[in-house]
Amino acid sequence: MKTLSNTGLGLIKATIERVQNTKSLFGSALKKLVNSSEEDLTNFLNGNSGISDKPDNRILRLLTIDKNLVIKATTGKRFLANAKSTFKSYVDSNFKNWKLDRTSHATPDMPVNVYEIVADETFIQIFELLSNDLDKLCFTQDQIEEFCLTHHDQLVDDGYSTFFLFKENKHFFVACVSIPSDGPDVFVYGLEDDFLLGDGPHQLVVPKL
Protein backbone atom coordinates (compact mmCIF):
# COMPACT_ATOMS: atom_id res chain seq x y z
CA MET A 1 0.00 0.00 0.00
CA LYS A 2 1.26 3.50 -0.79
CA THR A 3 2.36 5.76 2.03
CA LEU A 4 -0.49 7.98 3.19
CA SER A 5 -0.16 11.71 2.69
CA ASN A 6 -0.12 14.11 5.64
CA THR A 7 -3.69 15.01 4.72
CA GLY A 8 -4.73 11.37 4.89
CA LEU A 9 -3.04 10.86 8.24
CA GLY A 10 -4.73 13.97 9.53
CA LEU A 11 -8.15 12.66 8.53
CA ILE A 12 -7.50 9.32 10.21
CA LYS A 13 -6.26 11.05 13.37
CA ALA A 14 -9.31 13.29 13.44
CA THR A 15 -11.63 10.30 13.04
CA ILE A 16 -9.93 8.37 15.85
CA GLU A 17 -10.00 11.39 18.17
CA ARG A 18 -13.69 11.89 17.42
CA VAL A 19 -14.62 8.40 18.61
CA GLN A 20 -11.95 7.60 21.16
CA ASN A 21 -14.26 8.32 24.11
CA THR A 22 -16.59 5.53 23.03
CA LYS A 23 -14.84 2.20 23.42
CA SER A 24 -16.81 0.09 20.95
CA LEU A 25 -16.90 2.80 18.29
CA PHE A 26 -13.15 3.32 18.68
CA GLY A 27 -12.40 -0.38 18.26
CA SER A 28 -14.70 -0.64 15.28
CA ALA A 29 -13.11 2.38 13.60
CA LEU A 30 -9.62 0.96 14.05
CA LYS A 31 -10.64 -2.46 12.74
CA LYS A 32 -12.29 -0.91 9.71
CA LEU A 33 -9.16 1.10 8.85
CA VAL A 34 -6.80 -1.84 9.33
CA ASN A 35 -8.89 -4.14 7.13
CA SER A 36 -9.65 -1.59 4.42
CA SER A 37 -8.72 -2.24 0.82
CA GLU A 38 -6.86 0.40 -1.19
CA GLU A 39 -10.15 1.38 -2.83
CA ASP A 40 -12.04 1.59 0.47
CA LEU A 41 -9.29 3.66 2.09
CA THR A 42 -9.22 6.03 -0.87
CA ASN A 43 -12.99 6.50 -0.59
CA PHE A 44 -12.63 7.12 3.14
CA LEU A 45 -9.93 9.75 2.63
CA ASN A 46 -12.04 11.43 -0.03
CA GLY A 47 -14.89 11.78 2.43
CA ASN A 48 -17.17 9.19 0.81
CA SER A 49 -19.40 8.05 3.68
CA GLY A 50 -22.33 6.77 1.66
CA ILE A 51 -23.64 3.23 1.65
CA SER A 52 -21.18 0.86 0.06
CA ASP A 53 -22.39 -1.07 -2.96
CA LYS A 54 -19.58 -3.59 -2.43
CA PRO A 55 -19.59 -4.70 1.22
CA ASP A 56 -17.06 -7.37 2.19
CA ASN A 57 -18.58 -10.64 0.93
CA ARG A 58 -16.64 -12.51 3.61
CA ILE A 59 -18.99 -10.86 6.13
CA LEU A 60 -22.19 -10.02 4.23
CA ARG A 61 -23.79 -11.79 1.28
CA LEU A 62 -26.46 -9.93 -0.70
CA LEU A 63 -29.63 -12.02 -0.99
CA THR A 64 -31.69 -9.61 -3.08
CA ILE A 65 -29.51 -9.24 -6.20
CA ASP A 66 -32.41 -10.05 -8.54
CA LYS A 67 -35.23 -8.81 -6.30
CA ASN A 68 -36.90 -5.43 -6.06
CA LEU A 69 -38.10 -5.30 -2.46
CA VAL A 70 -39.91 -2.12 -1.42
CA ILE A 71 -41.36 -1.02 1.89
CA LYS A 72 -44.44 0.92 0.84
CA ALA A 73 -45.17 4.39 2.17
CA THR A 74 -46.00 4.59 5.87
CA THR A 75 -47.60 7.22 8.11
CA GLY A 76 -45.09 6.79 10.93
CA LYS A 77 -47.90 6.19 13.42
CA ARG A 78 -47.04 2.58 14.29
CA PHE A 79 -44.35 1.65 16.82
CA LEU A 80 -43.09 -1.77 17.83
CA ALA A 81 -44.11 -1.69 21.49
CA ASN A 82 -47.69 -1.66 20.21
CA ALA A 83 -47.24 -4.30 17.47
CA LYS A 84 -48.58 -7.34 19.28
CA SER A 85 -50.93 -8.19 16.42
CA THR A 86 -47.91 -8.49 14.10
CA PHE A 87 -45.46 -10.11 16.52
CA LYS A 88 -47.86 -12.58 18.05
CA SER A 89 -45.27 -14.58 19.99
CA TYR A 90 -43.58 -11.80 21.95
CA VAL A 91 -42.80 -8.07 21.97
CA ASP A 92 -39.77 -7.11 24.07
CA SER A 93 -40.81 -5.03 27.11
CA ASN A 94 -37.68 -2.90 26.65
CA PHE A 95 -39.41 -1.05 23.83
CA LYS A 96 -41.41 0.56 26.63
CA ASN A 97 -38.77 0.41 29.37
CA TRP A 98 -36.32 2.36 27.19
CA LYS A 99 -39.05 4.84 26.14
CA LEU A 100 -39.03 3.74 22.50
CA ASP A 101 -42.82 3.58 22.32
CA ARG A 102 -43.33 6.66 20.18
CA THR A 103 -44.55 7.54 16.71
CA SER A 104 -42.30 8.88 13.95
CA HIS A 105 -42.59 10.73 10.64
CA ALA A 106 -44.27 9.64 7.41
CA THR A 107 -42.05 7.94 4.83
CA PRO A 108 -42.35 7.34 1.06
CA ASP A 109 -41.85 4.01 -0.71
CA MET A 110 -38.37 2.72 0.16
CA PRO A 111 -36.37 0.06 -1.77
CA VAL A 112 -34.38 -2.22 0.52
CA ASN A 113 -31.66 -4.85 0.43
CA VAL A 114 -31.42 -8.02 2.50
CA TYR A 115 -28.02 -9.43 3.45
CA GLU A 116 -27.01 -12.69 5.08
CA ILE A 117 -24.41 -12.35 7.84
CA VAL A 118 -21.72 -14.96 7.17
CA ALA A 119 -19.04 -14.08 9.74
CA ASP A 120 -18.73 -13.37 13.45
CA GLU A 121 -19.16 -9.63 13.88
CA THR A 122 -20.91 -7.26 16.28
CA PHE A 123 -23.88 -5.08 15.33
CA ILE A 124 -21.84 -1.93 14.99
CA GLN A 125 -19.11 -3.62 12.93
CA ILE A 126 -21.65 -4.95 10.47
CA PHE A 127 -23.61 -1.72 10.04
CA GLU A 128 -20.44 0.36 9.71
CA LEU A 129 -19.31 -2.01 6.99
CA LEU A 130 -22.22 -0.69 4.91
CA SER A 131 -21.92 3.00 5.75
CA ASN A 132 -20.04 5.44 7.96
CA ASP A 133 -23.28 7.44 8.16
CA LEU A 134 -25.53 5.22 10.27
CA ASP A 135 -28.51 7.54 9.88
CA LYS A 136 -28.73 6.43 6.25
CA LEU A 137 -29.23 2.83 7.38
CA CYS A 138 -32.14 3.53 9.73
CA PHE A 139 -35.80 2.70 9.33
CA THR A 140 -38.71 4.06 11.32
CA GLN A 141 -40.43 1.52 13.54
CA ASP A 142 -43.46 1.78 11.27
CA GLN A 143 -41.31 0.74 8.29
CA ILE A 144 -39.92 -2.23 10.22
CA GLU A 145 -43.41 -3.49 11.01
CA GLU A 146 -44.50 -2.89 7.41
CA PHE A 147 -41.59 -4.97 6.08
CA CYS A 148 -42.47 -7.83 8.42
CA LEU A 149 -46.09 -7.74 7.26
CA THR A 150 -45.60 -7.42 3.50
CA HIS A 151 -42.31 -9.32 3.10
CA HIS A 152 -42.82 -11.99 5.71
CA ASP A 153 -41.29 -14.56 3.35
CA GLN A 154 -37.96 -12.67 3.51
CA LEU A 155 -37.57 -13.18 7.26
CA VAL A 156 -35.21 -15.94 8.30
CA ASP A 157 -36.52 -18.68 10.59
CA ASP A 158 -35.05 -21.93 12.04
CA GLY A 159 -33.92 -20.12 15.19
CA TYR A 160 -32.12 -17.26 13.42
CA SER A 161 -32.99 -13.57 13.28
CA THR A 162 -33.41 -10.60 10.93
CA PHE A 163 -32.03 -7.26 12.10
CA PHE A 164 -33.19 -3.66 11.43
CA LEU A 165 -31.48 -0.45 12.58
CA PHE A 166 -33.56 2.43 13.97
CA LYS A 167 -32.95 5.58 15.96
CA GLU A 168 -34.86 7.04 18.88
CA ASN A 169 -33.90 9.69 21.45
CA LYS A 170 -30.69 10.34 19.47
CA HIS A 171 -29.51 6.76 20.07
CA PHE A 172 -29.28 3.79 17.70
CA PHE A 173 -31.07 0.50 18.38
CA VAL A 174 -31.45 -2.82 16.58
CA ALA A 175 -34.82 -4.55 16.20
CA CYS A 176 -34.35 -8.32 16.13
CA VAL A 177 -37.16 -10.31 14.47
CA SER A 178 -37.37 -14.09 14.83
CA ILE A 179 -40.01 -16.65 13.87
CA PRO A 180 -40.45 -19.38 16.49
CA SER A 181 -43.16 -22.01 16.13
CA ASP A 182 -45.82 -19.87 17.81
CA GLY A 183 -45.37 -16.87 15.51
CA PRO A 184 -43.03 -13.88 15.00
CA ASP A 185 -41.41 -12.07 17.92
CA VAL A 186 -39.36 -8.88 18.16
CA PHE A 187 -36.60 -7.90 20.60
CA VAL A 188 -34.57 -4.71 20.89
CA TYR A 189 -30.84 -4.26 21.53
CA GLY A 190 -28.52 -1.28 21.74
CA LEU A 191 -26.33 -0.89 18.67
CA GLU A 192 -23.22 -1.09 20.85
CA ASP A 193 -24.22 -4.31 22.65
CA ASP A 194 -21.03 -6.33 22.49
CA PHE A 195 -21.82 -9.84 21.30
CA LEU A 196 -21.00 -11.69 18.11
CA LEU A 197 -23.58 -12.54 15.44
CA GLY A 198 -22.17 -15.91 14.48
CA ASP A 199 -23.23 -19.55 14.36
CA GLY A 200 -25.95 -19.17 11.78
CA PRO A 201 -27.40 -17.31 8.79
CA HIS A 202 -28.77 -14.22 10.52
CA GLN A 203 -29.99 -11.48 8.16
CA LEU A 204 -29.79 -7.72 7.87
CA VAL A 205 -32.28 -5.39 6.15
CA VAL A 206 -31.13 -1.89 5.12
CA PRO A 207 -32.38 0.87 2.81
CA LYS A 208 -31.16 0.61 -0.77
CA LEU A 209 -29.71 4.05 -1.45
Domain boundaries, the chain: 6-45, 60-207
pLDDT along the chain (209 residues), means of 10: 41 46 48 54 53 67 92 98 97 98 97 93 92 97 98 92 97 96 95 78 92
SS3 205: strand
Q: What is the pTM for the complete model shown?
A: 0.75
Which stretches of the chain are DSSP H helices? Answer: 6-19, 23-34, 38-45, 94-97, 123-130, 141-150
